[in-house]
Structure 1
């Protein structure tokens, strides 16, 4: 693996960790990103609260991707953000 790819991977994991830390600080699960939690709250909840619907639009808008939160949720479910060393036993 070349150095540029290693740095990109490192940066990706750091950003995910910061996102998960922020989510935990505001009352979410330690191993879930705010985007994933927002998708669950805005789309998957039986009666979504207004704050989750607003945050859903805001986050998707910030990333210029109308499916960002959904993709984040799907990544959580599939374990995409996990290091391959953790996936070896699957």
Structure 2
């Protein structure tokens, strides 16, 4: 129960940081970095951010990509919203 609570707090802080940096309010910074780095004319800062974030989460292979996929599939929502 506490683990799930802390996970939700971490997601909320991540989304807050992303929104404060000009991103969508309901998207994590990891997801945004992957999405922005994946476009053909991606700015260097997004490719750098993608690599940096993936490096910070070294124990999770392709962290940013998985974050993006979770956003698209809406996997971060509670089961009550299904």
Q: Deviations over 1:34-68 (max 9, x none)?
A: 0000001101x121100000001100000003400
Matches within 5 A, 1:3-82: 6-43=1-38, 45-64=39-58, 65-82=60-77
TM-score of the aligned structures, taking structure 2 as reference length: 0.94
Deviating above 3 A after TM superposition, structure 1's stretches of 4 or more consecutive aligned residues are none
CA separation in 1, counterparts of 2:3 and 2:75? Answer: 15
> What residue ranges of structure 2 are gaps of 5+ in the alignment?
none
Higher Cα Rg, which structure: 1
The range that moved more, 60-69 or 29-38, is 60-69
Decide which of 60, 80, 83 is 2:78's aligned counterpart: 83
> What residue ranges of structure 1 are gaps of 5+ in the alignment?
1-5
Root-mean-square deviation (CA), in Å? 0.9
